[in-house]
Amino acid sequence: MKNNTTAATWIPLSYSLSFLLRSKRLMGWSAILVILTMVFTWAGYLFTVDFVDGLTGNFFLAQPEAVGLWGWTKYLGWQAMYWSFIIVSRIVAFYLAFLIAYSLSAPGYVFLSTATEKKHAGENFEPDAALNITGLLTDLWEGVKIGLFGILVTIAALIANFIPGVGQVLVLLLYTYYSALMFVDYPSSRRRWSLGQKISWIKNHNNQSLRLGIFPALLSLVPVLNLFFIAMIFPLMTVHSTLNFVAIEKNSGGNQQAA
């Protein structure tokens, strides 16, 4: 495919979608990754729920009797605690499951990102060293680090949500830039960048990072279903972020090394 976007400062999502749909190889690999991400997410969800339920033991098995005023008060309080626990624990389980799935599938998305860059660059593509176990483990570890960083972002978002007036805006911005970091992780991992270098790239390209992360960030705010929506668009956003990352790096001199 002829590369006609190397001089562009921004590659639109429509071009990235068209680029993905025109490649049977990229589409096939994307389908596999979507299925794997959903399987990992669902398996992680079941494991997390069983683990959390195991920690509670028999706490919710002893339901108080609804007899008399005090009995009804205890019963309603127990019901409120029970359903609050069920809802919160399941939501947390879904998020943790997705982070597990993200970490485990990281090498696959790095491969998709590399295949995207190779197809787009054509003869100008600079190949990596041969695929080996060390490289796969490195990609997996980078995915784990991004996942752990995501837990910190989630905690920060929960705290920011209680700030009157601007809390929700801060939450959206946190998830936007974290989403951008997740997708930039793939093309930058091929260059063996550290987590600090990736974060610096996000800071140095603030506007582009905002554009890369806003769409998945908005989807992440949809309760429960967000994980499946994000799993479906992950390959597209990986392709989109890779194309823009490469274009930005080329226009800025290539292979930026953040301090």
Instruction: Write the pLDDT tens digit of every residue in 111-123.
Output: 999 999 999 988 7
- pLDDT score at 6: 42
The rounded mean pLDDT for the chain is 81
Structure tokens at 26: 């990229």
Amino acid letter at 57?
G
Q: Which two tokens stand for residue 99?
A: 């982070």
* Average pLDDT estimate for 74-98: 74
Query: What's the token pair of residue 258?
Result: 């953040």
Q: Taking 70 as the threshold, does the pLDDT of residue 69 lie above it?
A: yes
The pLDDT of 195-207, averaged and rounded, is: 92
Tokens of 83: 């359903």
pLDDT of residue 4: 45
Please give the Cα distance from 124 to 196 (Å, whole number): 28
Confidence check: pLDDT of 258 > 80: no
- Check pLDDT > 80 for residue 139: no
- Give CA–CA dist 246/187, Å, rounded: 8
Counting residues of the chain whose pLDDT is more than 90, the rounded percentage is 27
Question: Euclidean distance between the first and final Cα of the chain, in Å?
Answer: 35
Interior/surface letters 116-127, b for 16+ CB within 10 angstroms, e for the rest: bbebbeeeeeee
**Percent of the chain at pLDDT exceeding 70:** 83
Q: Residue 175, CB half-sphere, CA atoms under 13 Å: how many?
A: 23
- Checking if the pLDDT of 77 tops 60, the result is yes
pTM reported for the whole predicted model: 0.75
